[in-house]
Structure formats: structure tokens, C-alpha cells
Amino acid sequence: MADKKDNREVVLRLSDITMQFGGVVAVDNLNLDVHKNEIVGLIGPNGAGKTTAFNCITGVYEPTNGAIEINGQVVIENYPQGKMKDSYQGRNQGKYTKAITMLPDKVTKLGVARTFQNIRLFKGMTVLENVMVAMHMNQSESVFGATFRSKKAREEEKAMREEALDLLKKVDLYENRDDMSTSLPYGKQRHLEIARALATHPSILLLDEPAAGMNPQESDDLMRFIGRIRDEFDLSILMIEHHMQVIMGICEHIYVLNYGGQIADGTPAEIQANPAVIEAYLGGDE
């Protein structure tokens, strides 16, 4: 376990997050901190509960127990209720008493943007439109004004388009702006998903396996790209990844999950030397 104290402000904190589906505990008492401008990795074998943890943070699932703080404010909190009261298997029962839930779009408004493990672009739209959808929530014009092209609506649309084009330039997709999103090559689709997430003006970016299906050269480019956007957009990043090369290359802090439980956390060097991690990945002695 890490002993070093990080003095930077905590932007995302998961406290005792437990997610139980019926009798299956997918995530078991996960405690995780993301500090400002930090790149944090979340690793673990298949089925360890990494994506479930992401879905809890973004409001797709309601965690069974535990709390999530974003920028110091508790936005999600839950305790075992109803049927779950009897079948709950996790610890820390009774520690949390409030039930605060938040829908994914509200979480996004708070500044948490995400990408998906299996690319989820808007198929019927161009690259530019994909990015502009993500800016829709920040516009203030009513549907009536937008339909009849009021002055405000036209100004907002223009500003939105300019910002989207600017963003596409930054992620090297400007040339493809009018292509259909599905016609892009795989690597560029990943870039577009990140660009679309950036368009929501996030302070925390959650990347779910951004290097999946990439060759060493491509994942090397991606690593540099993630580092660049972190600096350029002043982001804190939490990423799930299976490519150890990527994780060890850019993460400052790594959390390891196995069977839902948290088995280790620390710097890349500490993780590489941790016997519990080696056992989880390579299998231990019988």
C-alpha cells in the first residue's frame, strides 16, 4: 500500500463502493482517490469489476453501498435497501445512511466524461456532429427558439461549431470532420470518442480501455496523446487498461482489482513488485 501522501486536491473519491447484483458482488469495497491532474490506472483480470466501477461513477448503476464524491461534494451515496438488506454480503453496513442518486447526464454536467470499452459513436452522424452533440447540454436556448433560429440560437450554434472544429484540430481529426463517424479507421474512432468526451468540458475523464485492439505503435501514440490532452485540457484521468505498457508508462498511481475486491494500490514500480498482483495475473503456487 502507498504510504506517500499526495498533497494535491482530491477531485474524485470512491468510498467503500460495493455493487452487488443479486448474489454476485461485482465490486467489493473499492476505495479510490483521483487527485487533480493525476493519471490513475485501474487494472485487473477479466471480470474483476473495473467497468462496473466506471458505471457506478457515471450513474449508470446505483451502487449497493458506499459513496462517491466529485470535487468534494457527495453526489452518489447508497446503503443496502429492500431485498438487498438481507442478501448484502459486503462490509461497512450501516456506515452510509443517505440515498443520493444521479442520472448519467447530471454526472456529465458535473464534469465527469467517459468513453466506452466497445466504441459507442453516433453512427448516423458526421464526425463534427458527434462532437456537437456533446456540447448540446451547455446551450441555453429553448427548443422553440432553436427551431425558429432566434438570434441567440444562431450565435450559440456558430460558437458551438467553431469550438467543435477547434477541438477536432487538437485531436487531429479536422480533415475528417465531414466524414461519417463509422467510416473512420478504428484508431481514429477511439480518438473521436475521446474528443466527444472532451467536448462536455470535463474536469475528470474516464477512459475505458482506450488502447483495446491497438498494436504497440498505436498504443504508444495513444499514450502520448493522453498525456497531451491531460496538460492541454487540465484534466484528471482515470483509465482502465489491459496493455501494461500503456498503464505502466503513463499512470502515476495504479489500483488493482480482482474478483471485485481491491488487492493493491501504489505506483507502477510498487505494483510490479507486489506478490498479490503477480498471483492474480499469473496464478500462484498451489
Partner 1 sequence: MDKTLNSKTKTLLSIACIAAFLVFVYIGDNTIPPGSSWKMMITVIEKGSIFALVAASMNLLNGFTGLFSLGQAGFMLIGAYTYAIFTIPGKSHDAVYQYFDGGLIKWSIVEILEGKLGVLGHYIGMFIPMIGAGLIVALIAFLIGIPVLRLKSDYLAIATLGFAEILRAFFQWNTLGPITNGSNVLRKYTTYGNAIFPVIIAGICIAIIMLLINSTYGRAFRAIRDDEIAAEAMGVNLFKHKEMSFVISSFFAGISGALLAMFQTTINATPFNTVMTYEILLIVVIGGIGSITGSIIGAFLFTAASEWWLRGLDAGRWLGISSSLMRPGFRKVVFAVLIMLIVLFYAQGIMGSREFSWDRFIAWWKNLPSNLKSWPERHKAKATARKEARATKAAAKAKAKAAKEEGEAKKASGEKLFTPLPTSNEVMVFGKEGK
Interaction site with partner 1 (CB under 8 A) = 58, 60, 103-105, 108-109, 113-114, 116, 120-125, 129, 132-134, 136-139, 141, 143, 146-149, 153, 156-157, 160, 196-197, 199-200, 285
CB of 108 to partner 1, least distance (A): 4
C-alpha cell at 263: 488487492
Name the minimum Å distance from CB 223 to partner 1.
Answer: 24
Cβ proximity to partner 1, 74 vs 146, nearer residue: 146
Please, which residue, 205 or 211, has the CB nearer to partner 1?
205
**Nearest-angstrom CA–CA distance, 97 and 80:** 9
**Which phi and psi angles does 40 have, rounded to 5°?**
-110, 135
Which of 78, 130 has the CB closer to partner 1? Answer: 130
Closest of 277, 147, 172 to residue 224, by C-alpha: 172
* CB nearer to partner 1: pick between 118 and 217: 118
Per the structure block, which three cell numbers stand in for 1?
500500500
| Residue 141 or 218 having the CB closest to partner 1 | 141
One-letter amino acid for residue 226 of the chain:
I
Residue 127 CB, nearest approach to partner 1 (Å): 13
CB of 112 to partner 1, least distance (A): 9
Compute the least distance from the CB of residue 248 to partner 1, in Å.
Answer: 23
- Closest separation in Å from C-beta 27 to partner 1: 19
Gap between the terminal Cα atoms of the chain:
25
Compute the distance between CA of residue 65 and CA of residue 283 in angstroms, rounded to an integer.
Answer: 30
Between 134 and 246, whose beta carbon lies closer to partner 1? Answer: 134
Q: Which residues contact 254 (CB under 8 A, 6 or more apart)?
A: 40, 41, 42, 43, 247, 265, 266, 267, 268, 271
Distances (CA, A) of 72 to 54, 110, 264, 272: 18, 12, 24, 31
CB of 134 to partner 1, least distance (A): 4
Q: State which residue, 58 or 64, has the beta carbon closest to partner 1.
A: 58
